[in-house]
Structure 1
Amino acid sequence: MKREISFKVAIIPLAVMIVVMALTVVVLEQGPHIPLIVGTSVAALVAWRSGYKWKEIEEAMYKGIRLALPAVIIIMLVGLTIGAWIGGGVVATMIYYGLKIITPSLFLVSICVICSIVSLAIGSSWSTMGTIGVAGMGIGLSMGIPAPMIAGAIISGAYFGDKMSPLSDTTNLASGLTNTDLFVHIKHMFYTTIPGLLIALVTYAFLGRNFGKGNVDTANIDQIIGVMQDSFVISPWLLAVPLIVIILVAKKVPAVPALVIGILLGFLSQIIVQGGNVADAVATLQSGFVINTGNEMVDNLFNGGGLDSMMYTVSMTIVAMTFGGILENTGMLSAIVSQILKLAKTAKSLVISTIASCFATNAACSEQYISIVIPSRMFAKAYRDKGLHSKNLSRALEDGGTLTSVFIPWNTCGVFIFGTLGVSAFQYAPYAVLNFIVPIISIIFAITGFSIVKLTETEKLALEKEEHTVLKG
């Protein structure tokens, strides 16, 4: 017979997984797959001991995996996009003009702003990082800027746009689940997100001062530009490829068909513009682009992409979601979040508890969508009971859920970034300024009461009437 799983028991799989993860990743310097499998095994054992049958535990894992399937498809398509755009000379062209136009000292600020604009236009941090971000990494590395700094600036920009865009799935999810008007939700996020972006840009300007003209080996950049010109056909017309994808997504074409069109255009560019044959172009899509110029920097920049390069990321996503699936679907996650909810006795602590719960859910379930869905269910009534407007909850969900997902190495976002930009969460975390400063600002505002909006009497009466209608119906 199934029994309710207590907090003390529910925390065991998560605690075991985190300890094993720390030992494996930090001490042994190995990947996070095995710790997640260990955590999944412990979670399954706890569920079985609590009365769940193996069939139910298995179904819980499958539910978790099914939730991640859209992400898996995007991950694979991004791998194909990177391969096609490298092979087609698209990435080389973006890097070439980037090196010609962007000043090294302003690079971190520039790439953050560019990613913000693109992500705001298309509503997708992943698509932004998988296209503009890849080129940005190449430009920054060519200028001698450390990879973690570049990745942090790209992530900050990409997640600003993702969070503030009316086209973003997480933005629509947070507003929809809390029954908050989409544009009311976005407007309320201005209070925490705009200051967060400004702090990030000031930080990147400060960091960038070390990469002024006097500290950059311009001869090295000139050499890289020369090798790229010898290895690829550089043409401004190739910039139309990413531009077409951005326009398609901005026109509300779904991400999958838009990326497929981008892949096709890159594939054709490798054959028509770069003069490659069909067999090479197909091989690039499968196993990535291969180049040997004799210049280590150029070879590192352009050897990669393809479907095979994303299989590590795909397998990690699937393993992580089996763990998260058991925790969510056997009630363990609810037991953990409910314990956090008990600490929320005031309006101030309620917002802080929401952010903490979102972060905990990101760690436990490895998926940012779950970090919005579950806390929204758990906290909605508590916000109403304390007379707080739903836009406080929707903002807290994004501040604590959407943004912090990148700091969990085994979260689908952390895994995607590692697979796309080649930098681990531990490395870029100090430089993803927007992502950690916004939750801090949100907590400060909760403590001071600034921008925490209470329900008016009219709104309270409307909610009571709505609840009464639902109960009666």
Structure 2
Amino acid sequence: MKKEMPFIVAIIPLFVMIVTMVITVVVLEQGPHIPLIVGTATASLVAWRCGYKWNEIEDAMYKGIRLALPAVIIIMLVGMTIGAWIGGGIVATMIYYGLKIITPSLFLVSITVICAIVSLAIGSSWSTMGTIGVAGMGIGLSMGIPAPMIAGAIISGSYFGDKMSPLSDTTNLAAGLTDTDLFVHIRHMLFTTIPGLVIALIAYAIMGMKFKNGAMDTANIEQTIQVLQDSFVISPFLLIIPVLVIVLVAKKVPAIPALIVGILLGFLSQIFIQGGSISDAVASLQSGFVIKTGNVMVDELFNRGGLDSMMYTVSMTIVAMTFGGILENTGMLEAIVKQILKLAKSTGALVASTVLSCFATNASCSEQYISIVIPSRMYAKAYREKGLHSKNLSRALEDGGTLTSVFVPWNTCGVFILGTLGVNAFDYAPYAILNFIVPVISIIFAMTGFTIVKLTESEKIALQKKDELILKG
């Protein structure tokens, strides 16, 4: 017989985890893994005290981990894709042509677009901000543009690419933990993210008009372009590879085969176009691409990727899902969500609650990964019960979790941006337009029902069969 979990008891593990997370991440400046383990231990103890046997608690952990396995596989493939595409010169080609489009009269628009292109290519907002973003700050300041305004444009572009890139870890987490096909998830995000980007670009164009007569020092850009030309074979034909992957996505090819095609083509490009050895190409897949150009920005941007680089995210995902597995399968999450759903009875209110819960998790746990992991398990059942497709949940997680992390000064993202771009979250917040407008669009669409997708009868049956298989094994 299922044991009823009181709300006041159910929130104990979450409270302990949040307190431990704040101390560990904000005060001690360490990663989120240990707080999650502490939360898991607390959840196990609470479940045991409420009458669950150890084998039931252990089984709950394994169920949580099994849910994350598809995401783990894709995350590992993403690491290999990044290494292959950097080694094959694909990323260098995308950045090269991106830097060519910068213009003094539309600097804020240009830096947003460039950061979006680079972040799409490498799947990392942090790497983009730490390289292209730093250079953009110097160029913008030389034109007399206020630092918060430049930082806001850089953040908007970087997080657009991070959110929409199939190489992004947060994108893969949101899709994987909600059991949504990766490219179905990305396509569904277009409805909220593209309008957000358009609004941001229009705003930056208007803001930038008064700075159009500023003189721009392009020495850093020209130097970077030259280093790219010296270090890689730059060819527009290399752009065929990402285009092909996009075509496969459009043809609804599943994520794993599409990524494998991208990895194979990047691997071959490193050998036959860039002139690398087979050993070097294999090393790029395993441990990431390695280059020493003497240019700090290029070296920081291109020394990355590989299977090994994803182990931090993989281990964090597994630990987080052991915690989530216990909360979900012992009725703790259900007890918490019941209290929330007393207020959120409509579809619009449910999506709004998801977005706001993601932001609250960003503020309380100081880590954007957790803002996706915890709400994904909290609301999965509620979306199913309302007959909503899982891509509605995965989109809400990214709209509310990935993007809002930058507005919390003590969140790892806010701390990183302060250290990298030198601007406080409270100062750049009004100018990080994409990051605050997309959650608003997401809630408006949910309230009106626009782009909210219901499950078909065949999808409901398929999900029921899948649930039965999980319960059996």
Residues 197 and 5 of structure 1, relative CA distance in 2, 3 Å threshold: same
Summarize the Cα distance change of 1:439–1:299 in structure 2 as closer, same or farther, 3 Å threshold: closer
Q: Please state how far the C-alpha of 1:439 moved relative to its aligned partner.
A: 3.8
1:156 alignment partner AA: F
Structure 1 residues 398 and 131, CA gap change in structure 2 (3 angstroms): closer
Provide closer, same or farther for how the CA distance between residues 29 and 261 of structure 1 changes in structure 2, counting only shifts above 3 A. Answer: same
The aligned runs of 1:129-208 (5 Å cut-off) are: 130=122, 140=133, 142-144=135-137, 150-156=154-160, 159=163, 196-205=196-205
Cα distance in 1, alignment partners of residues 404 and 81 from structure 2: 25
Residues in 2 aligned to 1:36 and 1:213: alpha-carbon distance in whole angstroms? 52
Deviates more, 1:216-225 or 1:142-151: 142-151
1:59 is matched with 59
SS of the residue aligned with 1:374?
helix
Query: Which sits farther off after the overlay, 96-105 or 23-32?
Result: 96-105
Letter in structure 1 aligned against 2:286: Q
> Aligned to 2:31, what secondary structure does the other structure show?
coil
Equivalent position amino acid for 2:235 in 1: S
Q: Residue type of the partner of 2:341?
A: L
2:37 aligned partner: 37
1:10 corresponds to: 10
Query: Does 2:377 align with 1:370?
Result: yes
**AA partner of residue 4 (structure 1):** E
CA distance in 1, matches of 2:15, 2:154: 32
Q: 1:401: Cα distance to partner?
A: 3.4
Q: Note the C-alpha offset of 1:70.
A: 1.2
Q: 1:38 to 1:26 in 2, by over 3 A?
A: same
Segments of structure 1 that go 5 or more residues without pairing to the other structure are 116-125, 163-167, 177-181, 381-389, 454-473
* Range with bigger deviation, 289-298 or 351-360: 351-360
What is the match of residue 233 of structure 1?
Answer: 233
Q: Deviations over 1:429-468 (max 9, x none)?
A: 957644543444566799xxx7379xxxxxxxxxxxxxxx
Task: Call closer, same or farther: CA 1:289–1:399 in 2, change over 3 Å.
Answer: closer
Mapped to 2, the partners of 1:369 and 1:235 lie a distance apart of 41
Q: Is the 8 A contact 1:112 1:201 kept in 2?
A: no
Q: Which residue of 1 aligns with 2:113?
A: 110
1:397-430 deviation digits (Å, cap 9, x = unpaired): 5674342232687xxxx999x9xxx999x98995
Q: Matched residue pairs, number?
A: 407
* Cα pair 1:79 1:306 within 8 Å, conserved: yes
* CA separation of 1:161 and 1:415: change in aligned 2, threshold 3 A: same
Q: Distance in 2 between matches of 1:9 and 1:408?
A: 29
Q: CA RMSD in A?
A: 4.7
Q: Which of 397, 404, 417 is equivalent to 1:401?
A: 397
What TM-score, normalized by structure 2, do the two folds share? Answer: 0.70
Query: Deviation at 1:204?
Result: 4.8
For the structure 1 residues 354 and 229, does the alpha-carbon distance in structure 2 shift closer, same or farther, using more than 3 Å as the test? closer
Residue in structure 1 matched with residue 337 of structure 2 by the alignment? 337
Which is worse superposed, 135-144 or 69-78? 135-144
Structure-1 separation of matches of 2:287 and 2:323: 29
For the Cα contact (< 8 Å) 1:107–1:140, is it kept in 2?
Answer: no
Quick one: distance in 1 between partners of 2:403 and 2:255?
Answer: 24
**1:92-118 Cα distance to aligned partner (Å, 9 max, x none):** 111111111243432344358869xxx
Amino acid at match of 1:370: R
User: Corresponding residue for 1:451?
Assistant: 448
**Match of 1:230, as an amino acid?**
D
Deviation at 1:279, TM superposition (A): 0.8
Task: Report what 2:259 is aligned to.
Answer: 259
| Cα drift, residue 52 of structure 1 | 0.9
Counterpart Cα distance in 1 of 2:21 and 2:264: 39
- CA–CA distance in structure 1, aligned partners of residues 307 and 347 of structure 2: 48
Q: What is the rounded CA distance, in whole Å, between the counterparts of 2:210 and 2:327 in structure 1?
A: 46
Is the Cα contact below 8 Å between 1:129 and 1:155 reproduced in 2?
Answer: no
3-state SS of paired residue (1:289): coil
Matches within 5 A, 1:285-296: 285-296=285-296
Alpha-carbon distance change, 353 to 261 in structure 1, aligned in 2, over 3 angstroms: closer
In 1, Cα distance between equivalents of 2:284 and 2:14 = 39
**Contact 1:111–1:136 (CA under 8 A) maintained in structure 2:** no
Distance 1:67 1:436, change over 3 A: farther
**Local SS of the residue matching 1:258:** helix
The structural deviation recorded for 1:156 is 3.5
| Distance verdict in 2 for CA 1:82–1:150, change over 3 Å | farther
Task: State whether structure 2 residue 101 is matched by structure 1 residue 101.
Answer: yes
Cα 1:215–1:81, aligned 2, differ >3 Å: closer, same or farther? Answer: farther
- Partner SS, residue 366 of structure 1: helix
Deviation at 1:349, TM superposition (A): 6.2
* CA apart distance, 1:86: 1.0
* Mapped partners of 2:273, 2:211: distance in 1: 34
Contact 1:131 1:242 in 2 (8 A): no
- Are the equivalent residues in 2 in contact too, given 1:147–1:423 (CA < 8 A)? no
User: Structure 1 residue 25: deviation in Å?
Assistant: 0.7
Query: Within 2, Cα distance between the matches of 1:269 and 1:336?
Result: 51
Q: Distance in 2 between matches of 1:345 and 1:247?
A: 39
Which of 91-100 and 131-140 deviates more? 131-140
CA distance in 1 between partners of 2:307 and 2:230 (Å): 27
Residues 121-168 of structure 1 show CA distances to partners (whole Å, capped at 9, x for unaligned) of: xxxxx9x56459799666555544778854542433665799xxxxx9
Give the structure 2 partner of residue 123 of structure 1.
none
Q: Does the aligned pair in 1 maintain the 2:286–2:307 contact within 8 Å? A: yes
Structure 2 Cα separation of the partners of residues 423 and 59 of structure 1: 43
Q: Distance in 2 between matches of 1:303 and 1:348?
A: 43
State the identity as a percent.
Answer: 60
Partners of 2:433 and 2:344 in 1: CA distance: 27
Pairwise CA distance, 1:224: 1.2
Indicate the SS of the match to 2:274. coil
